[in-house]
Chains A and B, each alone.
Chain A
């Protein structure tokens, strides 16, 4: 019997090894390969457990079941402990769990930690019931459809409608083909990191119930070559320009001196007027527009005044911590313009 069950589970385990997960759910990110490996590993060792438990159960129930004419008062074996066997079924699963724990632990940093080569930080905001994606360099967000260049690590800062927090609920960002999921929680900004590895159009699905339109909250993500991505990016810029959309906060005619006063009361708690590396809570801002150390944005160009205004308006999150948005900092539009002017004036 043991032999038959071993053959069955061997065949099924072989089936687990060769099963083409990729054909059913393409692997489109760096993390997907690792996560599929873990899944396969668990299925591989789950199969013999299922086969032996069910197999022995059915075999014993059939082999020892009472038949017509048997003495119903008869009793079975009186063996009620078998230390070696019990030790085996305690120790073997423990070892398997330990190995699984270690493998899982080794994979975890891959989507928690961005490598230094992260090329883009995009903000994804969940609304009822759509996704909004904010690209650095685009003055306005794009809705429900995000584009990513292939092979570039991307960081996505996830949150939920902070501009209308009174109705904000928890959403979720699930891209099954990337094997990536993270809740979008109002009041929290959580970054995720991955590298798209396959060209195609994939789904983004909300998996936290968010209201009547929850099931309709589906976006898409287009992974394309760098050239296609650049073309898309440019077309978005032109589209927004031709639609006459202006930057959300006018930053022309900022008063640098007034900005300096605002900076002294609102910003110096976290930022020094010095080189980027001079950190208090956030980086030094003395050379913001020209410092090569400043994290470059998606276009790879130095920060421009619009980007800076955008960060002051919406806040930011990175590996140093989270910067609150302008409502929290109690800044007016005029303050933002003045601050940008002030920061520009710092570079000599």
Chain B
């Protein structure tokens, strides 16, 4: 299409009047940027609670037969820690938080396709979290975030837990559908699929996963809830149910959910690297299409969580092979990211430090992931601290570190101010070192015979556990630096200006924070976003915003 045609298309968009009053602006807001901040604040609170629960767990595990917590409290603590981290922290931040904050800006849209649904989806989230934490009053679930029946049917709080996670699932499904439609229908003129920023690519795949997979979680939870409350048997063999049925339906959601938690992180990494290395991302198409490949394969690997559940080996075989196959697109991404550093102009700012930490730790988590894919090796490793170590390498070293990269990177788009770099670097180094000190020894514990979800353990593991616990306290304390930095930035943060990092994607082509309508005129895209050294590939962008200052 010619520029004239694109201009004609862009001129159709109109600006709605801005909302008036505190409630309309900040509470029942339809503005994707405000909703993003709402997600970050809510998830941030749950992150604090989930983090404190983790520190409780580690405090108990300092000694082999510690009397700090009762077994019941301990079991509740790790169960709600896992539940909250997955459903109340990582998934909402990755989709509702970053997806809402960056995706509509990156595609040059004024908002998401369904702003009312976006608001509704957010407001399902705080009550859901409340229900999950209220289950403590009744005796919270104790069987971990996976809540395998029949044992999960024996705790009274399971019903509330089901209701809470179910609500989160509904919220996630709605957001998925909303983002799918937004990305497919609302890209600004000229933004073809291969001109789309890689974070938006990742959000697109994530949206499909959320919309399709979450229904299975809802089904699994509905069954568990009905069985718990109305005694209709689904999973309890005492009444003719099948406990393995839950595992199938639950993991049919929860394996794709692993990618819901990491694909947006991959997207953040793909954004941060070219900006701070100041050169085009290596293998744009390979990175984009490997996200799609991972999304597709993620639906066909769920039973690798069930290699000790008595499946026939003819069932195990395809799941093993497909799980190993996931390593290939993931490897392509990692190698492409590392190659982007080659002959760049690398600025080691905080967002990039977190990305480098991510690359290092996620690669490690990937290698242990392959070790878990092989059925004979998994037979030994399943259900041990090896799993705990692996999942924290991919979900903390992976997801949480990319979340912090994204926060340092996009903080100015939320607040107009930058976070302090010196504090950010302290945060990174302490978190990175203490993270590895916490989780690396767990691989060893697991292989030598320490099962997960135990309140007491074999005293031979006590010195290692003591070391792990102390490291975990340091990791927790490092988050205080971030909290201080975030609060401090409100007053002392450097004013960012529209484009503090010299980015080339569209979110940097408007003020920080952007106006209610995002762009005064709908931008027009003429080329891909990562061609450093070439003029900006946009029309309809006011010239003073399009300069490239560098923080």
Contacts and interface: CB of A to CB of B under 8 A. Distances in A.
Contact of B283 (A31, A86, A100, A186): A86
B223 interface: no
Nearest to B330: A93
B452 A101 contact: no
A18 interface: no
Given A97-B370, A108-B316, A180-B379, A169 B154 contact: yes
Contacts of A172: 308, 383
A66 B346 contact: yes
Interface in A60-105: 60-61, 64-66, 70, 72-82, 85-86, 89-90, 93-94, 97, 100-101, 103-105
B155 to A, nearest CB: 9
Given A39-B377, A64-B341, A72-B550, A90 B310 contact: no
Contacts of B530: 80
A198 B364 CA distance: 34
Contacts of A53: 334-335, 338, 359-360, 363
Contact of A186 (B150, B363, B452, B453): B150
B473 to A, nearest CB: 22
A170 interface: yes
A166 B238 contact: yes
A183 interface: yes
Contact of A34 (B154, B282, B376): B376
A218 B457 CA distance: 10
Interface string A139-175: 0000000000000000000000000011111101010
A172 B383 CA distance: 9
Interface stretch (B16-24, B140-148, B162-170): B140-148
Given A85-B339, A212-B72, A75 B328 contact: no
A36 to B, nearest CB: 9
B361 to A, nearest CB: 10
Nearest to A202: B449
Nearest to B370: A42
Contacts of A207: 308, 382-384, 451-452
B331 A89 contact: yes
Contacts of B336: 86
Interface stretch (B120-128, B272-280, B423-431): B272-280
Interface string A101-135: 10111011101100000000000000000000000
A190 interface: yes
A104 B320 contact: yes
A100 B331 CA distance: 16
B348 interface: yes
B346 A64 contact: yes
B375 to A, nearest CB: 6
A50 B451 contact: no
B12 interface: no
A108 B383 contact: no
Contacts, number: 259
A182 B316 CA distance: 14
A25 interface: yes
A46 B370 contact: yes
A210 interface: yes
Contact of A77 (B308, B344, B380, B548): B344
B491 interface: no
A39 B244 CA distance: 28
B367 A50 contact: yes
* B interface bracket (residues with beta carbon within 8 Å of A): 35 or more
A60 B363 contact: no
Contact of A35 (B148, B377, B502): B377
A81 to B, nearest CB: 6
Contact of B335 (A43, A89, A105, A111): A89
B364 to A, nearest CB: 6
A60 B309 contact: no
Interface in B333-354: 334-336, 338-339, 341-348
Nearest to A165: B238
Contacts of B282: 79-82
Contact of B451 (A43, A65, A77, A206): A206
A70 B347 CA distance: 10
* A interface bracket (residues with beta carbon within 8 Å of B): 35 or more
A187 B343 contact: no
B346 A107 contact: no
B160 interface: no
A104 B376 contact: yes
B286 interface: yes
A112 B342 CA distance: 48
Nearest to A164: B238
Nearest to A211: B151
A12 interface: no
A179 B238 contact: no
Contact of A174 (B243, B348, B451): B451
Given A53-B363, A78-B533, A60 B338 contact: yes
B360 A54 contact: yes
A89 B337 CA distance: 12
B448 interface: yes
Interface string B458-500: 1000000000000000000000000000000000000000000
A60 B337 CA distance: 11
Contacts of B454: 214-215
Contacts of B347: 65-66, 72
B240 to A, nearest CB: 9
Contacts of B327: 93, 97
A50 B335 CA distance: 11
A316 B519 CA distance: 72
B279 A111 contact: no
A79 B277 CA distance: 13
Interface in B246-284: 277-284
Given A60-B341, A100-B324, A208-B383, A42 B363 contact: no
Contacts of B370: 42, 46, 97, 100
B376 A108 contact: yes
Nearest to A97: B324
Contacts of B383: 172, 174, 181, 207-208
Nearest to A34: B376
B461 to A, nearest CB: 12
A53 B282 CA distance: 15
B197 to A, nearest CB: 15
Contacts of A56: 338, 341-342
B324 A101 contact: yes
A38 B456 CA distance: 31
A114 to B, nearest CB: 13
A70 B530 CA distance: 21
Contact of B151 (A57, A82, A109, A209): A209
B171 to A, nearest CB: 28
A44 B342 CA distance: 27
Contacts of A50: 363-364, 367
Given A50-B367, A81-B283, A190-B310, A74 B278 contact: yes
Contacts of B515: none
Interface of A: 24-25, 31, 34-35, 38-39, 42-43, 46, 49-50, 53-54, 56-58, 60-61, 64-66, 70, 72-82, 85-86, 89-90, 93-94, 97, 100-101, 103-105, 107-109, 111-112, 165-170, 172, 174, 176, 179-183, 185-188, 190, 203, 205-216, 218
Given A65-B347, A170-B150, A215-B71, 20 more contacts: A25-B448, A38-B377, A53-B359, A57-B341, A60-B338, A60-B346, A72-B550, A77-B342, A78-B280, A78-B532, A80-B283, A89-B332, A104-B320, A104-B374, A166-B238, A182-B308, A183-B308, A207-B308, A209-B151, A209-B453
27 contacts: A38-B377, A39-B380, A46-B371, A57-B359, A64-B277, A64-B342, A66-B345, A66-B347, A73-B502, A75-B532, A76-B278, A76-B279, A77-B343, A81-B283, A86-B286, A90-B332, A94-B328, A97-B328, A100-B324, A101-B320, A101-B374, A109-B313, A111-B376, A185-B310, A209-B148, A209-B151, A212-B75
- 3 A-B pairs with the lowest CB-CB distances in the bound complex, closest first: A207-B383, A76-B279, A187-B237
